[in-house]
DNA sequence: AGTTTACGAACCGTGTATCGG
DNA sequence: TCCGATACACGGTTCGTAAAC
């Protein structure tokens, strides 16, 4: 005989399937004596629930879905994702909730996966990352009426829940710091312009120009790769009048930029200050170590998981959790601009 | 009405459920005309298969399971895991096979999850990592008669399949290189002794002593954390007669060791050579850059996925795939020992 | 008479074997 | 011989109902 079913237990104990189901789920409807006999038999027979059968009946799948529309190869490079995954796992596994993970080509494929997993009740909810301008995933998830948490904000995610950090505030703190050091020509090697958080950072920089009396404040969009980060840096440093400080939208790009500065004989921080959004071990082990906006990504993952689990347990009003604004950790890559720059 | 089922399609087209099932699965038993009408209706009604219902019938779950018995917090720190996950995803998502991921406390909990997922047919197969000495998971997976690939070898995994690299050969290449440089006192900051690959590396070092005429070759076990890596380094460098070279079982520990050497005023590579097992961006950005055993972990993940998918499609004899032996990439952290050392 | 206890059957959505036209 | 209908399996939950206390 294969794996035992509740029918097998029912037969052995001499009761009906229904009684076994009630007993195993701790629900009223059976006497304590019968319940004990059923539980005993289930234990002896090594019975385990069949989640597919349960899902068919409409109960919890005990899993959440994370679908990512990025090249799989970048996942291993960006410390951010690994940290986020760890944090999610730490919280989810505490309740034995698994994670259904899939990497897809683009946002349309991502939506299709949402539809499939939701209609098959494969997961109880979704985590959506990298919210974009006019993101079609928002509407899709709302239509599906499935619990979902968007990582990013504020706002613009309809009735979905969200967990977010204040990117604008973070960028302002960087620019304020650089201006206070005396920098007037600040460049920004940004990420993908279709991402909302990229837009927010670009706007924050632009908005600072007048307030801080900056002479120049240009944002160069990239695809987040170290290659484009290096290329953008090379272009910026080849200009007639160089920026005296560059802000990078990721630690990986900042690292690439630091390498380019070295190649071109531009001394950091004497001739060029470098700041990275997103902190990780990468920024700490370089020479000079890179001044970074630091946040606890592991904790962020935990918060996202927490909100999603709450939402699944009680799908009332949507949640909106603002997490701590990344704070600037000053290391060795920033200094006042040199006199002749 | 909620999501459409094959019964709804059957009603609309005016055929039986069975006919719809055959048509949607491209199986003989319906005329081409009927099939076309059914497919058309399914498309119009936006029908999607219900994986739970299928799983109940015993067909594919279109997912594989990865259960990891490590603290969740280490996943984000070890570049190895992120790279491996990326590689797995790259291969799996090409066939729209999802991954069921869960982090657990210990190996016993891991086995329990295997039992649950297998009996509920939640996944079609498993990937098992970190094989240990007398690993109870091997027996458990064999009993379950479910496709499974062990990452690590050679041998000792019964009827399960495996994908592995030659750890012994790799360690020998490191020791040979150090000996050729003139080192005679070599230390090894190892990982968890219960891991088979740790054991293999320790043995390989021990076996080299006579052959290469080493004066000293000690392995210090750790838990793979940067803290214990640092502590082990501190202990080794505090001895009367220091080792002139240290081999670390991970890049994270090598980094920690490099930091300790700096603190203690031990110059690398003049007074101490450092080599890391496992290469990543970490080893390239330090000063000095760390000589490492490099392998393509992303590709490794792809190979593991490939073998598992094959095994699921055709569960015949177990596979055993030896991957390329990690090759030594010499950077700036190794040099001949100084005269007075 | 009211409450506790348990039975039997229907149901969830899909796949497949049997059988009839 | 082909096409399609009917019926049941898969494992667990739920509901109406009836019997026992």
DSSP string, A33-73: HHHHHHHHHHHHTT----HHHHHHHT----EEEEEE-S-HH
Give B253-269 as a DSSP string: HHHHHHHHHHHTT--TT
Mean pLDDT, chain A, rounded, equals 92
pLDDT band at A341 (very low <50, low <70, confident <90, very high): low
Check: CB of residue A227 under 8 Å from CB of residue A234.
no
Question: What average pLDDT does this structure show over B182-208?
Answer: 96
Q: Which residues of A touch B75 (CB under 8 A)?
A: 82, 85-86, 89
Query: What pLDDT is stored for residue A340 in this prediction?
Result: 63
Both ends of chain B: CA-CA distance in Å? 81
Counting residues of chain A whose pLDDT is more than 70, the rounded percentage is 99
pLDDT band at B341 (very low <50, low <70, confident <90, very high): low
Residue in A closest to B254 by C-alpha: A285
**Of residues A82 and B150, which shows the higher confidence score?**
B150
In which order are the strands placed within the sheet that holds A245-248?
A216-220, A185-189, A245-248, A273-277, A291-294, A327-329
pLDDT band at A74 (very low <50, low <70, confident <90, very high): confident
Instruction: For residue B181, give the H/E element and its range.
Output: helix B167-181
Question: What average pLDDT does this structure show over B257-270?
Answer: 93
Domains within chain B, CATH numbers bracketed = 6-48 (1.10.260.40), 63-165+297-322 (3.40.50.2300), 167-293 (3.40.50.2300)
Is A324 at the interface with chain B, CB within 8 A?
no
Tokens 């059914």, residue located: B38
Query: What pLDDT is stored for residue B1 in this prediction?
Result: 61
* CA of B49, C1' of D1: distance in angstroms: 31
Distance CA A187, CA A95 (A): 45
Residue B225 has pLDDT above 90, yes or no: no
User: How many other CB atoms sit within 10 Å of the CB of residue B152?
Assistant: 21
Convert the pLDDT of each residue in B103-138 to its tens digit.
888 999 999 999 999 988 889 999 999 999 999 999
Query: What pLDDT is stored for residue A279 in this prediction?
Result: 87
Mean pLDDT, chain B, rounded, equals 92
pLDDT band at B168 (very low <50, low <70, confident <90, very high): very high
Question: What average pLDDT does this structure show over A16-31?
Answer: 92
User: How many other CB atoms sit within 10 Å of the CB of residue B3?
Assistant: 16
Q: What is the DSSP letter of B112?
A: H
Q: Which residues of B touch A297 (CB under 8 A)?
A: 76
Residue A220 has pLDDT above 60, yes or no: yes
Q: How many pairs of residues across A and B have Cβ atoms under 8 Å apart?
A: 155
Question: What average pLDDT does this structure show over B160-167?
Answer: 96
Interface list for A 74-133 with B (CB within 8 A): 74-77, 79, 81-87, 89-90, 92-93, 96, 98-104, 115-116, 119-122
Parallel, antiparallel or unpaired: strands B216-220 and B185-189: parallel
Out of B48, B82, B122, the one facing A116 most closely (by C-beta) is B48
Question: What average pLDDT does this structure show over B310-322?
Answer: 92
Query: What pLDDT is stored for residue A1 in this prediction?
Result: 61
Give A153-208 as a DSSP string: -SS-STTSEEEE--HHHHHHHHHHHHHHHT--EEEEE---TTBHHHHHHHHHHHHH
Q: Which of A164-168, B76-80, B179-183 has the lowest mean pLDDT?
A: B76-80
Residue A9 has pLDDT above 90, yes or no: yes
pLDDT band at A230 (very low <50, low <70, confident <90, very high): very high
Convert the pLDDT of each residue in A134-180 to its tens digit.
999 999 999 998 999 999 989 889 999 999 999 999 999 999 999 99
Residue A57 has pLDDT above 70, yes or no: yes
Q: Min CA distance, B52 vs chain A (Å)?
A: 5
Question: What average pLDDT does this structure show over B7-30?
Answer: 93
Query: What pLDDT is stored for residue B195 in this prediction?
Result: 94
The answer to whether strand C lies under 7 Å from the CB of residue B18 is yes
Q: How far is CA B29 from CA B20, B35, B42, B57, B71, in A?
A: 10, 9, 18, 20, 53
Q: Min CA distance, B125 vs chain A (Å)?
A: 14
Question: What average pLDDT does this structure show over B313-317?
Answer: 87
Residue A217 has pLDDT above 90, yes or no: yes
* CA of B30, C1' of C21: distance in angstroms: 15
pLDDT band at A120 (very low <50, low <70, confident <90, very high): confident
- What stretches of chain A show up as alpha helix (H) in DSSP? 6-13, 17-24, 32-44, 51-57, 72-75, 79-93, 107-119, 136-144, 167-181, 196-212, 226-237, 251-263, 281-285, 297-313
Q: Which two tokens stand for residue A7?
A: 């029918």
Is A31 at the interface with chain B, CB within 8 A?
no
Residue B178 has pLDDT above 90, yes or no: yes
Question: What average pLDDT does this structure show over B38-64?
Answer: 91
Residue in A267, A283, A235 with CA at minimum distance from that of residue A335: A267
Q: How far is CA A43 from CA A32, B48, B156, in A?
A: 16, 37, 31
Query: What pLDDT is stored for residue B340 in this prediction?
Result: 63
Distance CA A227, CA B338 (A): 39
Q: Give strand pairing partners of B99.
A: A101, B64
């Amino acid at each position: 005989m294969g794996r035992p079913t509740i029918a097998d237990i029912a037969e052995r104990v001499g009761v009906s399937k229904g009684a076994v189901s009630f007993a195993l789920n701790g629900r009223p409807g059976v006497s304590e004596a019968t319940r004990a006999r059923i539980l005993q038999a289930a234990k002896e027979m090594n019975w385990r629930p069949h989640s597919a059968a349960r899902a068919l009946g409409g109960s919890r799948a005990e899993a959440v879905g994370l679908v990512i529309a990025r090249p799989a190869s970048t996942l291993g490079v960006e410390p951010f994702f690994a940290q986020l995954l760890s944090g999610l796992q730490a919280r989810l596994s505490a309740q034995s909730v698994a994670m259904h993970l899939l990497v897809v080509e683009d946002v349309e494929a991502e939506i299709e996966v949402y539809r499939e997993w939701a209609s098959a009740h494969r997961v109880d909810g979704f985590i959506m990352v990298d919210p974009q301008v006019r993101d079609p995933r928002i509407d899709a998830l709302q239509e599906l009426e499935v619990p979902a948490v968007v990582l990013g904000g504020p706002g613009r995610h309809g009735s979905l829940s969200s967990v977010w950090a204040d990117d604008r505030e973070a960028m302002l703190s960087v620019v304020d710091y650089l201006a206070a050091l005396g920098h007037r020509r600040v460049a920004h090697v940004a990420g993908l312009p279709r991402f909302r958080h990229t837009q927010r950072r670009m706007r924050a920089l632009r908005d600072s120009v007048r307030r801080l009396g900056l002479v120049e404040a240009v944002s160069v969009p990239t695809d987040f790769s170290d290659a484009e980060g290096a290329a953008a840096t090379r272009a910026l440093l080849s200009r007639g009048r160089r920026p005296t400080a560059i802000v990078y939208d990721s630690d990986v790009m900042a690292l690439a930029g630091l390498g380019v500065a070295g190649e071109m004989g531009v001394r950091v921080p004497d001739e060029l200050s470098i700041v990275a959004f997103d902190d990780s071990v990468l920024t700490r082990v370089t020479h000079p170590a890179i001044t970074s906006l630091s946040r606890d990504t592991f904790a962020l993952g935990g918060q996202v998981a927490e909100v999603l689990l709450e939402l699944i347990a009680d799908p009332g009003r949507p949640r909106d959790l603002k997490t701590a604004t990344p704070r600037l950790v000053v290391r060795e890559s920033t200094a006042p601009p040199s006199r002749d720059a």
